[in-house]
Structure 1
Amino acid sequence: MQYEATSADDYISQLPEERREPVSRLRETIRTHLPEGFEESISYGMIGYVVPHARYPDGYHCNPELPLPFMSLASQKNYIAVYHSGIYADPELNQWFLDRYRALDIGKPDMGKSCIRFRKPDKIPYGLIGELCEKMEVEDWVRMYEKAIKK
């Protein structure tokens, strides 16, 4: 679902009541653990965490006017989603995440390429999401991104 929000607070205020607390808690987890240099924004109708033009002037290759996306947080119709470009781009990071998730014994992870879906808010592993955020610095992400698009 897309919301017409101008800020993360505005986005959260538009959510159904039962989604506000888990999305707020995920947002705070991400903001606390994401390395310095990423900025919070509204991107593609979601709460986004991007590499700003001040750090990466080239921007996003699909639309250079946009900053380089890294993570997003969204309330979708049937789940809450965390999108993390690093687990899509880095097979070792993806495997680390899967191993850690499975060790929590909270069920099988529901994932797409960069999407981690949480259908039950009481099963969100906030600590693991925090650890995931800490795994990639801005410079690491830019290097990985450039390697993938500038072949």
Structure 2
Amino acid sequence: MNYDVKTVEEYLNAIPKDRRPFVEKLRDIIKENLPEGFKEEISYGMIGFVVPHDIYPNGYHVNPELPLPFINIASQKNFIALYHSGIYTSPELMEWFKKEYSERITTKLDMGKSCIRFKNLKNIPFDLIEELAKKISVDDWILQYENSLSKMKNK
């Protein structure tokens, strides 16, 4: 679901009330554990953590006027989604996450390329998300991003 909001507070007020505590907890965990340099803002109509233009002036290749996205949290119709671009560009991180998830949560992981879907809100592995948030610094994310861009261009 896409909400027409300008601030994180507006987003939190727009989502269903029963989901708000879970989205807020995800947001707080990410804010508290992301390495320095990421900035929170509304990105693509959801809560986003981005690399701001003052750190990475090139912005996002799809639209350079936008800052480089990293993590997003969204309340969708049937689930809460966590989008983590670092998982998408790092097979090692993806494997680590899948392994850790299977060891901590009994339900099957519901995941796309970078989207982790939480349908049962009681099964959100907040401790695992905390660890995931710490894994990639701004500099490491920029390097991963640029490496994945160069691979796309060489195809």
Aligned to 2:97: 97
Can you give the 5+ residue segments of structure 1 that lack an aligned partner in the other structure?
none
Can you give the 5+ residue segments of structure 2 that lack an aligned partner in the other structure?
none
TM-score by length of 2: 0.95
- Matched residues in 2 for 1:22 and 1:131: separation? 17
Aligned-partner residue type, residue 62 of structure 2: C
Deviates further, 121-130 or 101-110? 101-110
1:46-61 alignment runs, 5 A limit: 46-61=46-61
1:71-82 alignment runs, 5 A limit: 71-82=71-82
- Matched residues in 2 for 1:28 and 1:105: separation? 21
Alignment of 1:121 onto 2:139 = no
Alignment of 1:143 onto 2:143 = yes
- Matched residues in 1 for 2:13 and 2:63: separation? 28
2:59 counterpart SS class: coil
2:18 counterpart SS class: helix
1:18 counterpart SS class: coil
Deviations 1:116-147 (A, max 9, x none): 00001111011100100100000001001111
Aligned-partner residue type, residue 9 of structure 1: E
Aligned-partner residue type, residue 65 of structure 1: E
Aligned to 1:108: 108
TM-score by length of 1: 0.98
Aligned length: 151
- Matched residues in 1 for 2:48 and 2:98: separation? 23
RMSD: 0.8
Alignment of 1:43 onto 2:43 = yes
- Runs of 4+ in structure 1 off by over 4 angstroms are none
Amino-acid identity (%): 54
Aligned-partner residue type, residue 35 of structure 1: P
Whether the 8 Å CA contact 2:56–2:67 is kept in 1: the answer is yes
Distance 1:105 1:63, change over 3 A: closer
Aligned to 1:2: 2
Aligned to 1:88: 88
- Alpha-carbon offset, residue 9 of structure 1: 1.2
1:116 counterpart SS class: strand
